[in-house]
Every structure is written in C-alpha cells, then in structure tokens.
Structure 1
Amino acid sequence: AQASVAAARAALAASRQQLDVLNTQISEAAAEVAAAKADLDTARLDLGFTEIRSPIDGIVGNRLAQVGTYVSPGSYLLTIVPASGLWVDANFKEDQLRAMADGQAATVYADVDPDQPLKGHVTSLGPATGAIFSVIPPQNATGNFTKIVQRVPVRITIDADQAGKVALRPGLSTVVTVDTGSR
C-alpha cells in the first residue's frame, strides 16, 4: 500500500510540474499574442501613413503623383476641386455697381448648359478693379487721359440646393445677372 501511495505522490508531483510547464507556456503564448497585436497596431498605423486623404469632398482635377510614388511632407500631389461651395467671379463694369450689394439674388448661366440657370447670391464686391491687381497695371505715362471703363470682380456664390444641376467646373465661361432690386 505504501508503494502505491509513493507512486501516487510521485505521479502528483509529476503532474504539478507538468502543470507549471503548461502555465509557463500559456504565459509565453499570451506574451506572443500581445506582441503580435502590438505589431498589428504598428502595421495599421504605418498603413495609415501611406493613405492621403483630402480634408474636403471634391473631384481630383490634376494628379501629379501616381500609386507607389514616394512623397515627402509638403509635396504637391494633386488638385482637388470642391464639390460644394461653388462660386463665380463676374467682372461687372464700374457703372453697374451702383445698385449692387451683398446678399442680392443672382442667376448664373454656364456656357456648358445655358438652358439650365443656377441660382446664387452676391457674397462680395471686389475691393478694387481688376486692372489694379494685374501683373502690369495700366499707366498713362504720356499725360493723355483716355477714360476706360474699369471692371470690378463680384463674387456670386451658387446656392447649395443648385449643386449638381450643371457640371460647373473651374475656368468655364458664364453669364451672370444680378437682381439689384432684391436684398
């Protein structure tokens, strides 16, 4: 009987040692899982650095960088044309500005679809004529005075509910009318 008790004690001690070994293996495996999760988080972060996101909704207008190109901070990669918040800068003659003011209703006819008018409103009148901001302002060095009617830029913001009615793009020609009786 003592031999079977001794054998049982030896088997118990062996089982306890085996349990300690298994617990150590579990701890090592848990540490490996934690390290793998940390590696995965680092890989996801690194992948996030490879994605370039625009801060605005829009359409890519001019793309210089291609997939796989290495870029550095501040590199010019592409141009985004905003999908909303569109405006038109119309150059009105100085004698047309008398009755014009911010907030007045305006209608924009784009040459791309002249039968589909866009509603908007005046958001600003230029602070000076277009000639003042030109690269070479006109100067009359001869002393002769010739009156030339100047044009002033007037910004017309397209109303938000008009978005998508016409495929308005930067640089397209438009005709603008302003309802000077509205405010």
Structure 2
Amino acid sequence: MDASLRKFFALTQERLAAWLGIDRTTLALVETGRRALPQGRGVQDARLAMAMAGRTLDLTSGSRAIAPLPPPPIEREPVEARLDYCRHHADRLRYQLRQLRRHAAPYEARLAAVPALRAWTGPVSDPAREARWLATFEAEAMEALAQHYGAGPQRLLEARISALDHEAALLESLLAEAAAPPVSRPGE
C-alpha cells in the first residue's frame, strides 16, 4: 500500500488509519514499505481501493459498479452575497469614473488652450513671467491627468468595473443554474 489511495481521497494518515483499524505510525511504516499491512486489514484496504474505481465487491456475484452520491447543491446565500458585492462596487466605481471625467475636463481644457496661449504674437508685459505661468499651467494639467483624472486612472477604473460586471454575470448564471431542476440521468 502506498499513499496514492490516501491522496486520491484527500485523507490524512490519521483518517485512513482509523478506517483500517490501525495506528497512524503503523500506516506510515506500511506506506513507506517498511512494514506489511497487519493481518485482516486488507479487506478494508481493498474496499477503499475498489470504491476509488466506483465499484464494490459483492461476495456472491463479484465486483459491481455503484452510483456515486450527488455533490451537494450550490449554496445560494454566499453566491447572492458576492453578487450584491459585485453590483454595489461596480456601481460605486461607475460613480467614481463619472467624477474622474468631470474633474478631467478643466485640465483637458488647459491642454487645449496652451498652444493658443503660446501662439499669441501680441505684446506681453513680462515674457519670462508669462512663460513660467504657462509652464506651470501646463504641468499642473499634465500631472492631474496623468496621476488622478486622465486616461490612465480612468482605464484602471474601467478595467475594475469590467471585471466586476463579468463576475456578476457569471454569478447570475450560476444562480440560474442552481435554480433549474436537476437533469435526470438515464436509468434513474
């Protein structure tokens, strides 16, 4: 006996040893090949090995297939809670996105105005001061758009919204699937 049977069923050594009616240290020695399975414990081992293949040993007719138990149904409550979370946070992020776009507008207007302001050919009372002011005017707009309100921050929010919307759609289909009556199998 090696550990493959135990791993197949995700059993601890303690749990398998209890099934076999031996202590855990004995099982460890059996699994490493340093000891044979104690006399009379092979039936339990064989039963579990056959169950791994979905079969049982019938002493009158030999081996026969056994239908597995169905898995438990999907619990709706955690799925519904996660769906509510996704919808709420997607809506919150949509609001933030609208706010970002609203805040971006004046900075985008600055960038649109800078070339026209620099193209002025008329007299200026202090050209150096005006050049500094225009440089600051532009730099503030560039920083605000790059760091807080522009395309980068907006696209990041759009990605998060898209992910939450996608997750919500999957959760909705999962809930619809869970609500559908089970499909009967042939022979049932």
How high is the TM-score relative to the length of structure 1? Answer: 0.26
Query: Rg larger in 1 or in 2?
Result: 1
The higher-RCO structure (CA 8 Å, 6+ apart) is: 1
The structure with the largest helix share of the pair is: 2
How high is the TM-score relative to the length of structure 2? Answer: 0.25
The structure with the largest strand share of the pair is: 1
